[in-house]
Amino acid sequence: MTAIRHDYASVNGIRLHYAHSGEGPLILFLHGFPEFWYCWKAQLEDLGRDHLAVAPDLRGFNLSDHPAEVKQYKARILIEDVRQLAEHLGKGKFVLVAHDWGGAVAWGYAMAHPQTLSKLVIVNSPHPVTFARELAHNPAQAAASQYMNLLRSDKAERVLSENNYERLAKMTLEGWGRGAVDPAQKAAYIEAWSQPGALSGSLNYYRASPLYPPIGDDPGAKALHLDPADFMVRVPTLVVWGMRDQALLPGNLDGLEVCVPDLRIERLPEASHWVMHEEPERLNRLIREFVGD
């Protein structure tokens, strides 16, 4: 295992904190909600043996800057953060690995800048075309995603921070399916969530996105009409999916090959949404096998 170090980069008008290990070809890891760089610790330690493995805190999270305006979390801005960070790291073509909201950014990045990527690895994060379809036409996915409307609401900060972030802990740390929560790990997450502006910054990903389930008179994703031809990913792609994910259902994999012609899908029957925490060694092996092809 390699030592993990920390640095900052000024990109796209903000300052991003990032953890990194090792030297060599760049492999960049993007976390989701409500995580931070730490969720990739096992990957940084392993992949850093023969790569420059880098995991930033995305805009709005933990030690990175937290712009207050929702419009600062639009997809094109998040994608540009990644482009400029990769340019700052200066390693040419790179591998992009991403989970959850990081995956949403990575799908968009791969569409916009395929020439900069050698491989793409997505972990439990739906492509926008399949997710829009499932939200609009699969009642089970619409029901499973109702939490998104809470996270988009004005009361989200209050509800999630009550009782020392009890609800966020239940959504994440207590849902990893591996027994008791590690006290040190829980303390690290609460510290990240408690950074001034971080909770609102992370929630603004939901508020800025047009992909959410219908609520009341708001059609949500039903108002979208996405043409797959406009959302093509022309990068060799591995999708790893924990099949026990209760928020993002396996229907999001159906028809994915229409938008991702060079596609492999690895289904993990015993894993949930939190693959990096539940099966880190297996995920490391899958990444290594795919990157080494």
Catalytic residue among 31, 66, 127, 273: 273
Active site residue 73: no
Catalytic residue among 38, 109, 206, 212: 206
Q: CB pairs under 8 A, 24+ apart, for 3-11? A: 4/41, 4/44, 4/45, 4/48, 9/56, 9/84, 9/85, 9/88, 9/89, 11/81, 11/84, 11/85, 11/88
Task: Describe the strand order of the beta sheet including 52-56 as a list of residue ranges.
Answer: 5-11, 14-21, 52-56, 26-30, 94-99, 117-123, 237-242, 263-268
Catalytic residue among 100, 127, 189, 245: 100
Scan for tokens 């591998």, then name that residue. Answer: 95
Active site residue 262: no
Active site residue 100: yes
Q: Which residue numbers are catalytic?
A: 100, 206, 273
